[in-house]
Amino acid sequence: MEVSRVITIHHFEFDQHFRTAGESHDFWELVYADREEILCGADGREIRLMPGEMLFHKPMEFHTLAANGKKAPTVLIVSFECKSPAMGFFAGRKLTPQKRDVRFLYALVDEAKRTFNIPFSDPESKKMELLPSPTLGGQQLIKNYLEILLIDLMRDLTETREGNDTFLQSGKYESKLVADIVRILEENVEGSLTVDELCRRIAYGRAWAFREFKKGTGEGIMAYYTRLKIDRAKQLLREGELSVRQIAELLCFDTPSYFSKTFKRLTGQTPSAYQKMKRKP
């Protein structure tokens, strides 16, 4: 679990009528209800955070924040970049951290106050300015505290008396990103899926997704997607209910000719030749 960059740290003191218009960005955001209830929106869902509860917004998730109209809340918000696949564990997750975890969070905020000029009630602030004389090693400790907090939260939610094998089963969690990509590709084998749309759905950048998928499967994402489509085409050809043109349209190839060329490149046969061979008694 490696935090590559802490972007903003806010300790907001809002009035009871505060409300944001909403935003989305390509990094993670941690929201902690310090005092009083706050209302969080996440891609159209309303999530109530009671005092002591925490929520994670994944990259590119549209989110809002509001007071409940009755009580003036205090909120801690940390936004950060973390490309570790294990961060998927926190996507959309609401949790109640243990006291020791809250101490890490407060230690992080305390270091930030000694390192940066942090406004208490300016949600428009998107960049932290260093103090004229920041504390020694503050930026490094902030990242360290955040990484420790994330690991400790994961332990709390996965540890048992027998230990913790959540991340040891055949690289189960380290390969979660790859598994998520494969699942989405399989679900859209009879559709059209662009790389940009895929990256939005998994909340990772193109370069990272391509590198991790290649490392996990030995194959590029779109090459894998094409192979899934051809495997589906072979099944449809064996069933014999659709013509080559209909199969090409169903699998969203640009033209029947392009479908045939792709099919032959991957199988060594044209679709018609494959169908005839499989129909022989």
Greatest pairwise CA separation for the chain in angstroms: 84
> Tokens representing 21?
């218009």
* Residues 146/108, Cβ–Cβ less than 8 Å: yes
Whether 23 and 124 have beta carbons less than 8 Å apart is answered as no
Domains of the chain: 5-158 (2.60.120.280), 176-279 (1.10.10.60)
pLDDT at 1: 79
φ/ψ of 28, rounded to 5, equals -80, 155
Q: Is 159 helix (H, G, I), strand (E, B) or coil?
A: coil
Structure tokens at 132: 């004229």
- Compute CA distances 231 → 225, 237, 256, 270, whole Å: 10, 10, 16, 14
Residue 131: per-residue pLDDT = 87
Quick one: pLDDT at residue 247?
93
pLDDT by 10s per residue, the chain, length 281: 789 889 988 888 788 888 888 888 889 999 999 988 999 998 888 899 999 999 999 888 899 999 888 888 889 999 999 888 788 888 878 889 888 888 889 899 889 888 988 765 555 666 778 888 988 998 999 999 999 999 999 888 776 665 655 554 444 434 678 888 888 998 899 988 888 888 888 877 888 888 888 877 778 899 999 999 999 998 898 888 889 999 999 999 999 999 999 999 988 889 998 888 765 54
pLDDT computed for residue 123 by the predictor: 56
Reported pTM: 0.59
> What does the pLDDT read at residue 161?
60
Q: What are the distances in angstroms from CA 206 to CA 2, 3, 85, 176?
A: 19, 19, 14, 16
Per-residue pLDDT at 156: 83
How far apart CA 146 and CA 14 sit, in angstroms, is 24
Question: Which parts of 116-253 fold into alpha helices (H)?
Answer: 138-158, 176-187, 195-202, 206-217, 221-239, 244-250
Instruction: Provide CB contacts within 8 A for 278, sequence distance 6+.
Output: 237, 238
